[in-house]
Amino acid sequence: MAKKNGNGEKVKSMESWIWDAACSIRGAADAAKYKDFILPLIFVKRLCDVFDDEINRIAENLSKKSGAVSVSNRTKALQLVERDKSLVRFYLPLKTKNPAKDSAWDAIRTLSDKIGQQLTDIMRSIAKENTGLQGIINRIDFNATTHGQRDIDDDRLSKLIEKISEKRLGLRDVEPDIIGRSYEYLIRKFAEGSGQSAGEFYTPAEVGFIMARIMDPEPGMEVYDPTCGSGGLLIKCELVMEEKMRLRSKEKYAPLKLYGQEFTPSTWAMSKMNMVIHDMEGDIEIGDTLKTPKFKSKNRLKTFDRVVANPMWNQGRDSLSYIKDNFFINDEMGRFPAGSCGGKIDWGWVQHIYSSLNETGRAAIVLDTGAASRGSGNQGNNKEKDCRKWFVDNDLIEGVIYLPENLFYNTSAPGIVIFLNKTKKHKNKIYLLHAGKEFEKGDPKNFIPEAGIEKIAETYKKFKEVEKFSRLVSKDEIVKNDYNISPSRYIHITDTETYRPIGEIVEELKTLEEETTRIDAELKAIFEKMGI
């Protein structure tokens, strides 16, 4: 969310530095390859500088004076913290030549021999002292080799450490909001260089803010992301809530309770670091959400006030081998009331998310455009359409937003956001919004400017009907169109557009081809049994 508090230049300066640090290893072209090394180092630099600030604060309290901290009082402060580690957020067991004068980061900056191994040992020692950091920074081996070659040699590590040393990231130097936004910027820059894998950990910031603004969370609410990636969607919900409280001139309020689950260990670690960098707390679990959901209450699925998610698009049975029809039918927690969704898991995620909502819960889910229309208009049965039908018939879909093309890093397809609401305002209607033109050209991806974010979110929240942009569509009209809920089917954004988008037609052709292949295989098996 764009800030209007004069911090724009500070953010830009921080972003430039943080990207220069990443590029110091081998240049921008290869920076993304090293994200698992760079992110933890910048994270630990923040921990070191905050630790020093906290030691200085304790030393100031000892002298009952502000300003310069004496060496003796700093020595006493370090001794106090050594005895009671709860006095600081994270205890850092870093040893320097002169602890009373040196900064904690100096223990890293002065490494000159066997840097990779020593850095690995330092990370492990920090994690050992702080249970909340275990598995986050101690999972990286800075001395790792591939085919006998160091993944990142000591010379490059030394350059990276020196570049990171250029800026102080303490409590008095940079606000959590600024360092957090800069860290997110770095994650986005890594996404640009990560190709197809980027979608596993990054959702474009503007999409996240649109979702968060429409979800409109209130203080103390429980917010969940079952596919949390780097944690961006959860963080944006907290930022939007905090901004709302500032506008209300509220100084005291409860933060959101953030919950997430992530399958990939490196991405899980990224989300945990991202939370700390933003000065937020979140309960982030690791594991396969569909197979083993971690958040339960009395052996039942835990429910939440809000759910935000961007599951991997078009995940099918090839990537999730355990997903069979009986997986949906026999689920012990009854998460799939609409049943099997066929060869693609998109509506399986929607069902899990619906089952994770409490009685007044709302959800925002990013899916590919085909999830809104596949199977509609075709002869015969289609399990994905049947799932969509169940949600429409039970009046659970509040709205759908059609996004611009080429926003996401793992595809040029536009994507949609489906909103669920258990207490929706407009009964037996679905609010459709076509935001296909709300973008500016970017490199390498398009983006939605702040004015576009505002227009989309505020129009949706008011359920305004705007020509060539948004309308409320009755359930009867949805049924008439065979449960196609794509905004592009009902809203023509140009005078000449009278046909469905090519992308949707291509998706349907893919589905038909998959169904044909499956039927051919089944017929072949039958004929073989018959000896034909």
CB 290 within 8 A of CB 352: yes
Average pLDDT (129-148) is 94
pLDDT-based confidence at 196, cuts 50/70/90? Answer: low
> Cis before residue 404, ω within 30 degrees of 0?
no
Contacts of 304 by beta carbon, 8 Å cutoff, 6+ apart: 222, 223, 224, 259, 356, 357, 358, 361
CA distances from 87 to 82, 131, 149 (A): 9, 15, 42
The pLDDT, as a whole number, for residue 524 is: 80
| Residue 81 pLDDT exceeds 70 | yes
Read off the pTM.
0.90
Contacts of 78 by beta carbon, 8 Å cutoff, 6+ apart: 55, 99, 100
Closest by CA to 221, choosing from 249, 256, 190, is 256
Q: Where are the domains of the chain?
A: 8-181, 194-368+382-472
Cβ atoms within 10 A of the Cβ of 220, count?
12
Chain-wide mean pLDDT for the chain? 90
- The torsion of the CA quartet 388, 389, 391, 396, rounded to 10 degrees, works out to 120
Average pLDDT (283-309) is 95
> What is the CB-side half-sphere exposure of residue 156 using CA atoms within 13 A?
17
Cα angle 82, 88, 89; round to 5: 135
Contacts of 527 by beta carbon, 8 Å cutoff, 6+ apart: none
What CATH homologous superfamily does 194-368+382-472 map to? Vaccinia Virus protein VP39 (3.40.50.150)
Whole-angstrom distance, CA of residue 334 vs CA of residue 413? 32
The pLDDT, as a whole number, for residue 359 is: 97
Tens-place pLDDT, residues 350-381: 999 999 999 999 999 999 999 999 988 877 77
| Residue 328 pLDDT exceeds 80 | yes
The pLDDT, as a whole number, for residue 470 is: 98
Phi, psi of 243 (to 5 degrees): -60, -40
The pLDDT, as a whole number, for residue 499 is: 52
Whole-angstrom distance, CA of residue 458 vs CA of residue 452? 10
Who wins on pLDDT, 1 or 318?
318
Q: Does domain 8-181 have CATH number 1.20.1260?
A: yes
The answer to whether domain 8-181 and domain 194-368+382-472 are alike in fold is: no
Token pair listed for 227: 């596919």
| Residue 409 pLDDT exceeds 60 | yes
